[in-house]
Structure 1
Amino acid sequence: MSFTIILTRPALLFNSKAMHTLYPGNTKFVHNLQTYLLSRDYSNLKSEFQNGNHKKIINSIEKQPAVELLLGEHFFLTVADHYL
């Protein structure tokens, strides 16, 4: 018997439709937000959302309006979370 083990690191999964509702008609802002989230330390980001009741206001992107993100609606911490 043989088997393969594949090790990966957790990766964010975005709900594109929900993300675009945050900035209607402005794909640049959506891209900036996704880039910001991907650049964050995964463990810190996870803790911030868990401590904030799965919500967090993102207001630190220069020249971009603040938005409230909901974990499990706008994005998921892992692909498995998306399917749950």
Structure 2
Amino acid sequence: MWESGGGPVHDLIRTDLAAGGELVRTLAAYFDAGGDVPEAARRLVVHANTLRYRLGRVRERYGVDLDDPDTRLLLTLAVRLVPPEGS
């Protein structure tokens, strides 16, 4: 079902995974940390500003509104439906 979908969230996931998955991993950490940027950055072992920059790229490059609850829900599910690294 996921593979047949479209739209900005699907584009983000597909494009980012093809480029190595940095934004997908960033989003997963961000959602796992309940939106806590410093905690998500700690989990990724990056500076909080790096994490903020990546989230900004998600917004600007893909037009994904991280403040929209429905979009956050779809993204949360999407980052869990993609195959883990190395699969």
TM-score if structure 2 supplies the norm length?
0.31
Which structure is richer in relative contact order (CA contacts within 8 A, separation 6 or more)? 1
Q: Tell me the TM-score normalised to structure 1 length.
A: 0.31
Higher strand share: 1
Relative to total residues, which structure has the larger helix share, 1 or 2? 2
Bigger radius of gyration: 1
